[in-house]
Chains A and B, each alone.
Chain A
């Protein structure tokens, strides 16, 4: 398998799994509220996502011992991605408030289960945007760095 195929496969799997499982967690929290089951699912999701994203680094460190596993360019990409993900997550929270107001009106009520749903949604959005923007920068390059 070529390196490009590996990266594409990794991206597809790495993005699909946290998104689908994150969606399941979000629905479970919305339907059941915060309980042992939802918290357990959330913990599993968080652990699995962290493991998935650290797997390439661990493998690179084990298989290619001479190669630097993270350099200044990787850190620059990570820092840019984190800034983009922060902005998008902030927009997500603002739009969640706006949508809630728009849907129920000024005097309406919203289920308390919406709060954890929005919080978990924010974490999922952050992760997904972080990975996507990192991948785009990796492929397109950042011409002048910092």
Chain B
């Protein structure tokens, strides 16, 4: 969808969690370090399963880690 952008706070959350390294996070969620690098750089959107695993690794909800620029459901229905 045009204009849709996903952002994330993985990098920030890593630093808030005892300066966790990319390697440590990768091992915790079961992916390669390269995948963590591309997620942080917004070059790859992880699957829902991986998004949940990352959120759990930080002890937060998925929406605290990943944000979307998509309009909320309420604003879409209001427009209609």
Contacts and interface: CB of A to CB of B under 8 A. Distances in A.
Nearest to A138: B34
B46 A72 contact: yes
A71 B44 contact: no
Contacts of B26: 67-68
B35 A71 contact: yes
Contacts of B27: 66-68
Interface residues of B, number: 21
B43 interface: yes
Contact of B50 (A66, A72, A74, A141): A72
A145 B47 contact: yes
A65 to B, nearest CB: 10
A119 B2 CA distance: 42
Given A72-B50, A73-B38, A143 B31 contact: no
